[in-house]
């Protein structure tokens, strides 16, 4: 089982974690101000040191609470800072949906195998550190794919500046996962999205159905599915 690639950014950028930590500091300082060392059975010296420490920490903690609340109210995404945390990465529901959508097109193999060019591969096309005999459960494979989806979303977010609904984002990340972030960021699709033509961006997806200059039926089917999800998300929004 692997953690998502940017778990540190998700954890430290989450407004809820900051609120909880700051709130606990303030609560501890308040609690120590109401009790005595005798009531807690503590050494008086250690009690005094702890009380003084939490009283000092309570000052920046209150600032964090006030500033965090102000930013949370101003940001419907619910984060003090969402830098590095994408729309999919920031939602367990969206991430699970993305894994299900992308996974159906990538195909699942729980036992390590050699791909057509001889590279050891497992799960949904994972190749990093894969060795002969490796075996994973579906849950472990899903977690690997989730980590890759978060990584590809971060790549796409470097060039996709438009705000899009979650269904559209899943479709675009699926496409990016398939064609690569370099090709995605140079595309007319991203340019249209950034210019505000979100429907036009969705309609660009079927053009990406070739490999080696030939139209591939599997790619055509995948692009059609991504286009459908993309447009339905816009309609729902």
Is the Cβ–Cβ distance between 99 and 89 less than 8 Å?
no
End-to-end CA gap in the chain:
35
Q: Which two tokens stand for residue 90?
A: 């920031």
Q: Which residue has the tokens 């101000």?
A: 33
pLDDT at 235: 96
Alpha-carbon span 139 to 76, nearest angstrom: 31
Segments making up each domain of the chain, as ranges: 7-74, 92-236
The active-site residue, picked from 9, 38, 115, 142, is 115
Q: Which two tokens stand for residue 88?
A: 């999919």
One pLDDT digit (tens) per residue for the chain, 237 residues? 455 444 454 444 444 555 566 666 656 665 666 666 777 778 877 777 777 776 666 566 555 555 554 554 444 444 333 445 799 999 999 999 999 999 999 999 999 999 878 899 999 999 989 999 999 999 999 999 999 999 999 999 999 999 999 999 999 999 999 999 999 999 999 999 999 999 999 999 999 999 888 999 999 999 999 999 999 999 998
- The verdict on pTM exceeding 0.95 is no
Alpha-carbon span 103 to 106, nearest angstrom: 5
Give me the DSSP letters along 185-214. Answer: HTSHHHHHHHTT-HHHHHTTGGG--EETTE
pLDDT at 42: 80
Alpha-carbon span 27 to 20, nearest angstrom: 10
Fold of the CATH domain 92-236: Lysozyme (1.10.530)
The active-site residue, picked from 106, 142, 153, 204, is 106
Q: Which residue has the tokens 């994408």?
A: 86
Residues 6 or more apart whose CB falls under 8 angstroms from that of 109 comprise 121, 122, 123
Strand pairing category for 210-211 and 214-215: antiparallel
Active site (annotated) includes residue 115: yes
DSSP-based helix, strand, coil % in the chain, nearest 5: 65, 10, 30
CA-angle at 30, arms to 27 and 36, nearest 5°: 125
């Amino acid at each position: 089982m692997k953690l998502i690639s940017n778990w540190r950014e998700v954890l430290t950028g989450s407004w809820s974690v900051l609120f909880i930590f700051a709130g606990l500091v303030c609560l501890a300082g308040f609690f120590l101000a109401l009790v005595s060392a005798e009531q807690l059975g503590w050494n008086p010296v250690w009690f005094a040191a702890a009380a003084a420490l939490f009283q000092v920490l309570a000052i920046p903690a209150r600032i964090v609470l006030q500033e965090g609340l102000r930013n949370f109210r101003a940001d419907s995404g619910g984060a003090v800072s969402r830098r590095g945390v994408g729309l999919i990465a920031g939602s367990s529901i969206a991430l699970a949906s993305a894994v299900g959508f992308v996974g159906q097109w990538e195909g699942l193999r729980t036992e390590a195998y050699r791909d057509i060019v001889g590279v050891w591969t497992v799960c949904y096309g994972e190749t990093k550190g894969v060795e002969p005999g490796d075996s994973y459960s579906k849950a472990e494979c899903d977690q690997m794919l989730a980590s890759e989806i978060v990584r590809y979303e971060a790549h796409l977010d470097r060039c996709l500046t438009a705000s899009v609904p979650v269904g559209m984002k899943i479709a675009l990340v699926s496409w990016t996962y398939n064609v690569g972030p370099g090709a995605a960021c140079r595309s007319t699709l991203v340019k249209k999205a950034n210019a505000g033509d979100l429907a036009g961006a969705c309609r660009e997806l079927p053009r990406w159905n070739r490999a080696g200059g030939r139209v591939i039926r599997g790619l055509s089917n995948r692009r059609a599915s991504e286009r459908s999800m993309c447009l339905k998300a816009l309609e729902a929004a």
